Amino acid sequence: MSQIWRRISYGDEKPEDIEKEVLEMDDSPKKTEMIYELATIYGKMYKQNDMVRLHKMAIDKDYVQSMIELGKYYDRENIHLDLMIEYYSKIIEFPYLPIKDMKSIIRNCLDRLIHYYKFKSKNPEKMKYYCLKSIQFGYFKYCYDLAKYYYEVESNVEEMKKYLFIGIGNNDISVIKYFGDYYLNVEKNEDEMVYYYELAGHIEDFNDSGDAYLELGQYFEKKNDYEKMKKYYLIGINKKNSLCIFSLAKHYQYVEKNYHEMKILYEQLIQHDDFSSIYQMILYHMDIDKTYSELMKYLNKYYELYKNFNIEKMSMRMGYNVSGYYKSHENDFFKVLSYLYVYEEDDDDEKREKYLSLAIKKKNGPDTMFHIAHEFKKVNKLDECEKFFLMAIENGHKKAMYDFGNYYEEKGDSENAIKYYTMASENGYEFDLVQIKSIKE
């Protein structure tokens, strides 16, 4: 505890009185240090104006700790960014001062300066300057940004490769992948791309992320080279990369139709409450397997998971904010509610009506009616199908008008087919009107 703080805490003195006493002292390093201490105390007392005023007095004497504190304050409050830049720039000129954690302070200043010039003022020359400064301090975090700058701004391949190699020497995965992308897209050398992505994968072995293997698997999947695709997805799966598991499961589901292997992989993810895998199993049991009990199991699992989903808890478990992931399944949840309404036992009307009500809340009513009409058509419950088509049409759903016309055309009812096709056309739904003409003929 500092002497000034002790006087305030135990001596019942006011900081304003101590400040007058300090300012009357002759200039000396001790006086500057006391001004800094008083500024810190004002900050703890939420007297921000007094804090800023005294820090500026100390800064006039080149007191680095005040530059650090005031720079952090302006940065945090997002005000006076010109002064923040000025202070952070001065701080990195004093790297060897005997201040606790000075190395960490220098790096933080460099991070903030580079971030400012990269994203806020968008000044690539200044960004480059501080990236180079960071390397002078043995801080190799920005080799990727330097390499990208030299290639994309100055078209200097030699300098780009120089900083890529420095980054590779420091196991910078983003640099290694950038090198791989360069060889693939510029020099058209797939072998070199694979080499650098595999190198990135070996470095990732230390944290078991498997992201590089995921990207290699996705690359070969787009090329329809399924043998190599499987090779890299399987390596990623050994690293417990969930996207590798999901990608290979979808391949088995939609390309190879290997449902046994598909189920094994999806179940690995379902154990961890993965929405996407549960939804794919719903589609599988609806369209392929058609086992009612299994379909209801996954429908109810999805419903319960979504209903009880705790974004904060899930974010902590996964290490990032998953609200975007949750929201991305809003549309799937609407469909799941619709499926539950259609496939739930007919005698449980109260439960079915609850699902219908929730579905309408998740998506506008006419779209819900339209979707449910098609689900009833799939299971050949035509009375219910017609009921929901008409409900959607009454609410102005143009596609429902057209599809209901198509429904009657398939049944051979040309009168009603023409009626609803004409209604769709008159309401602005675009399709080939020859379709109506051919029915009349």
Q: Please give the mean pLDDT across all residues of the chain.
A: 88
DSSP for 343-391, written as a single string: HS-TT-HHHHHHHHHHHHHHS-HHHHHHHHHHHHHHTT-HHHHHHHHHH
Q: Is 40 helix (H, G, I), strand (E, B) or coil?
A: helix
The 10s digit of each residue's pLDDT in 211-236 is 899 999 999 999 999 999 999 999 99
Pick the more confident residue, 69 or 350.
69
Lowest mean pLDDT among 26-40, 229-243, 304-318, 330-344: 304-318
Taking each continuous run of H as one helix and of E as one strand, the counts in the chain are: 27, 0
Residues 359-369: what's their mean pLDDT?
82
Owner of token pair 């020859």: 434
Pick the more confident residue, 274 or 362.
274
pLDDT at 344: 80
Whole-number Å distance between alpha carbons of 396 and 390: 10
pLDDT at 1: 46
pLDDT at 441: 63
State phi, psi for 262 to the nearest 5 degrees.
Answer: -60, -50
Q: Is the pLDDT of residue 311 over 60?
A: no
Residues 414-424: what's their mean pLDDT?
92
pTM of the model: 0.69
Residues 386-413: what's their mean pLDDT?
93
Q: What percent of the chain has pLDDT over 90?
A: 63
Q: Is 163 helix (H, G, I), strand (E, B) or coil?
A: helix
Whole-number Å distance between alpha carbons of 36 and 109: 20
pLDDT at 281: 96
Q: Comparing C-alpha atoms, which of 300, 365, 359 is closest to residue 335?
A: 359
Q: Residue 37 is encoded by which pair of tokens?
A: 């201490």
